[in-house]
């Protein structure tokens, strides 16, 4: 019996073949059984058919420099078109001599977004930063002081316009959404009914009808002689739209707060406003930050719809660039360029929201 | 040392004054709120009436019975420019419903396949599905519609050099031409056999469940059902003489004749809606399946269920509960997004209404009608889905 208990050194055996290393990975992930092998071969065949023509079109056969559209027609893409229209697609009708202004504006927006993504910045400081940032943005766009020429809102176009519509829509829509969500959860039936009616009405109709309404009917709604800037009208539609969608997100957070929290606040003798502002909202809002980011992505993508009321956002400037008689027919190039810009913003934000979600769920993860 | 301990008589607290009474205050708040809302609404309505009067714009829905005078390129129901505006609206509505229903069906199929592909054990399949989802989800739908429309309408060659993407399916700047079977009385019998197959399957399944409950003998309803639903129509097809003739589009002069043709606008709208909504459905399906805890699958395996049974009997019924509510809102989104058709010139409801309100100047009525239709569609889909959701919801105690 004693020898059995003894430690007898045994030489370590190699792991079974084809379970580790490169071969093992291939076996487990690409050739695990008949079905998997067939799928792998089919996908590889599909890629082999699809990728070479795309690479040839976009890179090998592409024309990078050309004086005009005629000289740019070939088997491949015409990136010279983008080179030619680059400034117009990004900044539209903004005076060419002052292009630095919209460039700085886009830079400020990127900085503000970067600051908002840094969790150590969250809090009052961030709010002040955004307020100051937006004021600088408007001052730079509008000009009319310190030697900068005055630029009317009709000339604001391209990427800065898209960013302004999305960011202002979100910032002003957010308080509206919180109020609507609180109203929808209110114990007062009249308040609740009006809030539910507003939210369902706005969410039930396409954004495009709201934009039509803002551009065609807002002038009818206002007293005679009062005119509202076209950009402001579109912005109002975005705020109304964002408010209704954000209200549903915030409501999700309000519903997740256990009843004990409000009861405890009542027991402390807090008023409704104190209870909501100090106890309920801080908890509810921090729960819904990831879906708020997703809503923002949706609003950012939806700004493309302003083409329908002929505001010159990023997509409209691209369409306008396509109408140039000297450079006709480069649809795919223009849409790919604009698509990459939209995609980078949305992809970055959706990754950030996924990261937040993972971090917030760290305690719940097994 | 309270009053009660000292033996003093308990004093009723004084009635609070009315402005401290929550019930009274609630009523006051509501009255104030409703009055404020009404005041704002009245302000707008008053301005609108004054403005309409000043601009001499007619009000009311009388224009609906007037002659429309514009033609509509695509229609499912007969329409000529001599018809009324009401008829034109109806044509727009049928076009909207047409693209929305086809879009919902195809987006569900594409989205479900991609959602399952993202959970595949095959690395290549998983990555390809992920690239699809991440690419098309993060680009505005309108941009995608312009892209497909530009591709189909501007980049596609004329009919003579049409791309043949599948045998008999031609893509040219005139649209997508595809073959359809030549009409034959045989198809009536095939459809009847198909319906009979479904009915018989339901009966057989009921009987199978009862027999399994009584004797423990399992009944493979899915195979019997497959045999009935596919087999009966096939038998009917051959008994009726197997009319295999297809009406294949063929180049004739400058366009295709024969088969059926989708206009570039319709094709672009359908492709755009399906590809865009498919990404969201893929994520919903993936999340729904992941939401069923792994323990459920393990328990099913411990019971000796095969992988097909495990999916069908244990995982899917629970996943559907998670999947259905967000799926409903995606269907609603697709229907609402079909209004972007106006940007690429497909005559949907919004596009027809837009033409109408430009011609008549009656923006108020036109927009009210669009909103009413979409609200009706939204609320009915929501109602139908809520009923279904109630049927599959978890029953607790």
Instruction: Give a yes or no: residue A354 inside a domain.
Output: no
Please give the residue of chain A at the shortest CA–CA distance from B20: A271
Query: Residues 6 or more apart from B99 whose CB is under 8 A from it?
Result: B266, B269, B270, B273, B338, B341, B346, B348
What's the pLDDT tens digit per position in A278-294? Answer: 999 988 888 888 888 88
Q: What percent of chain B has pLDDT over 90?
A: 25
Q: Is residue B119 part of a domain?
A: yes
Q: Averaged over B168-187, what is the pLDDT?
A: 76
Residue B342 with chain A: CB contacts under 8 Å: 208, 308
Q: Is residue A316 part of a domain?
A: no
Residue A92 lies in a domain: no
Instruction: Give me the pLDDT at residue B1, please.
Output: 45
- The full 3-state SS of B163-199, as one line of letters, equals EEEECCEEEECCEEEECEECCCCHHHHHHHHHHHHHH
Note the ipTM here.
0.87
User: What is the overall mean pLDDT for chain B?
Assistant: 83
Q: Which pLDDT tens digit goes with each residue over B263-277?
A: 888 999 999 999 999
Closest CA to A343 of B269, B344, B141, B124: B141
Say what the pLDDT of residue B396 is.
59
Q: Is B250 helix (H, G, I), strand (E, B) or coil?
A: strand
Answer for the pair A199, A180: CB distance below 8 angstroms, yes or no.
yes
> Does residue B286 fall inside a structural domain?
yes
Residues 6+ apart with CB under 8 A from B340: A206, A208, A305, B141, B142, B145, B269
* CA–CA gap between residue A165 and residue A242 (Å, rounded): 11
Burial class (CB in 10 A: 0-12, 13-18, 19+), B20: exposed
Contact B262, B274 (CB under 8 A): no
Instruction: Report the distance separating Cα B217 and Cα B214, nearest Å.
Output: 8
Mean pLDDT of B310-332: 86
Residue A217 lies in a domain: yes
Indicate the pairing of strand B180-181 with strand B260-262. unpaired
Give mean pLDDT, residues B57-68.
76
How many beta carbons lie within 10 A of that of residue B276, not counting itself? 23
Residues of chain B with Cβ-Cβ distance to A30 below 8 Å are 122-124
User: What is the CA angle A182-A184-A187, rounded to 5?
Assistant: 85
Rounded CA-CA distance B241/B235 in Å is 10
Cα gap A335→A322, rounded to integer Å:
10
- Min mean pLDDT across A133-142, B109-118, B242-251, B309-318 is at B242-251
Q: Rounded distance, CA B88 to CA B349, Å?
A: 9
Q: What is the CATH number of the domain that holds B92?
A: 1.10.3720.10
**DSSP one-letter string for B296-345:** HHHHHHHTT--HHHIIIIIIHHHHHHHHHHHHHHHHHHHHHHGGGHHHHT
Task: Determine, yes or no, domain membership for B226.
Answer: no
Is B195 a member of any domain?
Answer: no
Distance from C-alpha of B357 to C-alpha of B363, rounded to nearest angstrom: 5
Contact B37/A at CB under 8 A: yes
Determine contact: A193 vs chain B, CB below 8 A.
Answer: no
Q: Is 90 exceeded by the pLDDT of residue A301? A: yes
Is residue A363's pLDDT more than 50? Answer: yes
Q: What is the pTM of this model?
A: 0.85
Find the closest chain A residue to B52 by CA distance.
Answer: A220
Inter-chain CB proximity A339 and B367 less than 8 Å: no
Supply the range of the domain harboring residue A304.
169-311
Residue-wise pLDDT tens digits, B116-153: 899 888 889 999 999 999 999 999 999 999 999 888 87
Tokens found for residue A112: 């503000």
Burial class (CB in 10 A: 0-12, 13-18, 19+), B265: buried
- How confident is the prediction for chain A on average, in pLDDT? 86
List CB contacts (< 8 A) between B50 and chain A: 223-224
Residue B301 falls within a domain, yes or no? Answer: yes
Rounded Cα distance between B151 and B262, Å, is 15
> Which of B100, B142, B341 should be substituted to probe chain A, the one whose Cβ sees the most A Cβ atoms within 10 Å?
B142
Q: Is residue B288 part of a domain?
A: yes
Identify the CATH number of the domain in which residue A269 sits. 1.10.3720.10
Residue A153 CA to residue A12 CA, distance in Å, equals: 76
Interface test with A, best of B29, B46, B50, B122 (most A CBs within 10 A): B122
Residue B26 forms contact with A (CB below 8 Å): yes
- Average pLDDT rounded to a whole number, residues B309-326: 85
- Asked if the structure places residue B335 within a domain, the reply is yes
Which pLDDT tens digit goes with each residue over A65-115?
A: 887 777 787 777 888 888 888 888 888 888 888 888 888 999 999 998 888
| Alpha-carbon span B174 to B157, nearest angstrom | 9
pLDDT tops 70 at residue B355? yes
Cβ–Cβ contacts within 10 Å for residue A359, how many? 11
Give yes or no for residue A3 having a pLDDT over 60.
Answer: no
Contact B343 A308 (CB under 8 A): yes
Quote the CA–CA distance of A308 and B142 in Å, as a whole number. Answer: 10
Residues 6+ apart with CB under 8 A from B254: B158, B159, B160
Per-residue pLDDT averaged across A200-206, rounded? 89
Count the domains in chain B: 1
Report the alpha-carbon distance of residue A5 to residue A11 in Å, rounded.
18
Q: Does B4 have pLDDT greater than 60?
A: no
| A181 within a domain of the structure (yes/no) | yes
> A145-176 in b/e burial notation, b at 16+ Cβ within 10 A?
eeebeebebeebbbbbbbbbbbbbbbebbbeb
Residue from A76, A214, A335, A350 whose CB has the most chain B CBs within 10 Å, to mutate: A335
Q: Does A297 touch chain B (CB under 8 A)?
A: yes
Asked, for residue A68, whether it belongs to a domain, the answer is no
Q: Is the pLDDT of residue A365 over 60?
A: no
Whether A269 shows a pLDDT value over 80: the answer reads: yes
- In this predicted structure, the answer to whether residue B7 has a pLDDT above a threshold of 80 is no
Q: Which of B51, B134, B336 sits opposite A224 (nearest CB)?
A: B51
Give mean pLDDT, residues B196-204.
Answer: 88
Report yes or no on A148 lying in a domain.
no
* pLDDT over 70 at A342, yes or no: yes
DSSP letters for B103-145: HHHHHHHHHHHHHHHHT-S-HHHHHHHHHHHHHHHTS-HHHHH
Q: Environment class of residue A324 by beta-carbon count within 10 Å: exposed (0-12), middle (13-18) or buried (19+)?
A: middle
pLDDT in tens, B86-118: 888 889 999 999 999 999 999 999 999 999 899
Give the three-class secondary structure for A227: coil
Backbone angles phi, psi at A270, to 5 degrees: -75, 150
Lowest mean pLDDT among A214-218, A284-288, B5-9, B90-94: B5-9
Residue from A92, A134, A95, A4 nearest A307 by CA: A92
In a domain, B65, yes or no: no
pLDDT above 60 (res B5): no
Give A71's contacts (C-beta < 8 A, 6+ positions apart).
A63
Residue of B nearest to A314 (CA): B143
User: Is the CB of residue B47 less than 8 Å away from at least one CB of chain A?
Assistant: yes
CB atoms within 10 A of CB A282: 12
Q: What would the two tokens of residue B117 be?
A: 């592909």
Among candidate residues B162, B153, B156, B103, the one with its CA nearest the CA of residue B334? B103
* Residue A159 included in any domain: no
Structure-block tokens of residue B303: 């019971």
User: CB burial class (10 A; 0-12, 13-18, 19+) of residue B11?
Assistant: exposed
User: How many domains does chain A contain in total?
Assistant: 1
């Amino acid at each position: 019996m004693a020898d059995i208990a003894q430690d007898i050194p045994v030489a370590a055996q190699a792991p079974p073949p084809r379970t580790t290393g490169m071969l093992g990975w291939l076996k487990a992930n690409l050739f695990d059984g008949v079905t998997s092998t067939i799928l792998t071969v089919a996908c590889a065949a599909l890629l082999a058919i699809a990728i070479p023509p795309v690479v040839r079109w976009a890179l090998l056969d592409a024309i990078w420099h050309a004086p005009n559209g005629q000289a740019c027609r070939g088997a491949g893409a015409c990136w010279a078109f983008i080179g030619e229209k680059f400034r117009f697609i990004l900044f539209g009708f903004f005076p060419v001599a002052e292009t630095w202004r919209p460039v700085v504006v886009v830079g400020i927006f990127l900085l503000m977004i970067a600051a908002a993504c840094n969790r150590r910045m969250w809090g009052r400081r961030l709010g002040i930063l955004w307020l100051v940032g937006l004021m600088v943005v408007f001052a730079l766009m509008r000009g009319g002081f310190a030697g900068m020429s005055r630029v009317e809102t009709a000339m604001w176009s391209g990427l800065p316009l898209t960013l302004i519509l999305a960011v202002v829509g979100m910032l002003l829509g957010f308080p509206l959404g919180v109020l609507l969500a609180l109203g929808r959860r209110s114990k007062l039936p009249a308040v609740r009914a009006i809030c539910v009616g507003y939210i369902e009405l706005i969410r039930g109709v396409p954004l495009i009808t709201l934009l039509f309404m803002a551009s065609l009917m807002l002038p009818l709604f206002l007293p005679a002689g009062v005119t509202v800037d076209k950009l402001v009208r579109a912005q109002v539609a975005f705020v109304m739209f964002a408010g209704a969608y954000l209200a549903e997100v915030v409501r999700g957070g309000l519903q997740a707060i256990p009843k004990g929290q409000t009861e405890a606040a009542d027991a402390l003798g807090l008023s409704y406003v104190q209870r909501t502002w100090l106890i309920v909202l801080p908890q509810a809002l921090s729960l819904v930050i990831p879906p708020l980011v997703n809503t923002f992505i949706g609003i950012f993508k939806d700004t493309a719809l302003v083409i329908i009321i002929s505001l010159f956002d990023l997509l409209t400037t691209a369409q306008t660039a396509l109408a140039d008689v000297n450079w006709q027919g480069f649809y795919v190039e223009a849409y790919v360029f604009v698509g990459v810009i939209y995609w980078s913003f949305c992809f970055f934000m959706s990754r950030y929201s996924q990261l937040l979600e993972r971090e917030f769920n760290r305690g719940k993860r097994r | 040392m309270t009053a009660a301990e000292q033996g003093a008589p308990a004093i009723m607290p004084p009635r609070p004054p009315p402005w401290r009474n929550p019930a009274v205050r609630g009523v006051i708040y509501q009255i104030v709120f409703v009055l404020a809302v009404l005041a704002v609404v009245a302000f707008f309505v008053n301005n609108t009436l004054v403005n309409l009067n000043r601009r001499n714009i007619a009000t009311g829905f009388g224009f609906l019975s007037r002659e429309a005078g514009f033609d509509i390129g695509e229609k499912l129901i007969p329409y000529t420019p001599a018809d009324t505006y009401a008829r034109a609206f109806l044509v727009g509505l049928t076009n909207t419903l047409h693209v929305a229903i086809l879009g919902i069906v195809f987006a569900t199929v594409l989205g479900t396949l991609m959602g399952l592909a993202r959970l595949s054990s095959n690395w290549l399949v998983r990555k390809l599905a992920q690239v699809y989802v991440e690419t098309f989800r993060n680009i505005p739908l309108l941009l995608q519609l312009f892209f497909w429309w530009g591709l189909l309408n501007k980049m596609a060659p004329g009919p003579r050099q049409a791309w043949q993407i599948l045998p008999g399916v031609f893509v040219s700047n005139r649209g997508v031409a595809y073959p359809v079977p030549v009409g034959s009385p045989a198809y009536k019998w095939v459809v009847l056999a198909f319906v009979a197959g479904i009915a018989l399957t339901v009966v057989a399944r009921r009987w199978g469940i009862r027999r399994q409950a009584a004797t423990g003998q399992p009944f493979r309803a899915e195979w019997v059902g497959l045999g009935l639903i596919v087999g009966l129509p096939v038998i009917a097809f051959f008994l009726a003489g197997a009319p295999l003739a297809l009406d294949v589009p063929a180049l004739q002069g400058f366009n295709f004749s024969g088969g059926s043709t989708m206009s570039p606008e319709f094709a672009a709208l359908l492709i755009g809606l399906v590809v865009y909504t498919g990404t969201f459905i893929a994520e919903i399906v993936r999340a729904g399946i992941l939401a069923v805890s792994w323990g459920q699958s393990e328990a099913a395996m411990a019971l000796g269920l095969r992988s097909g049974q495990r999916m069908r009997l244990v995982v899917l019924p629970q996943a559907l509960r998670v999947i259905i509510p967000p799926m409903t809102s995606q269907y609603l989104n697709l229907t609402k997004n079909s209004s972007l058709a106006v940007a690429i010139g497909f005559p949907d409801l919004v596009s027809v209404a837009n033409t109408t309100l430009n011609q008549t100047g009656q923006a108020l009525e036109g927009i009210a009608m669009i909103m009413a239709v979409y609200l009706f569609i939204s609320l009915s889909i929501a109602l139908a889905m809520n009923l279904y959701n109630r049927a599959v919801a978890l029953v607790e105690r």
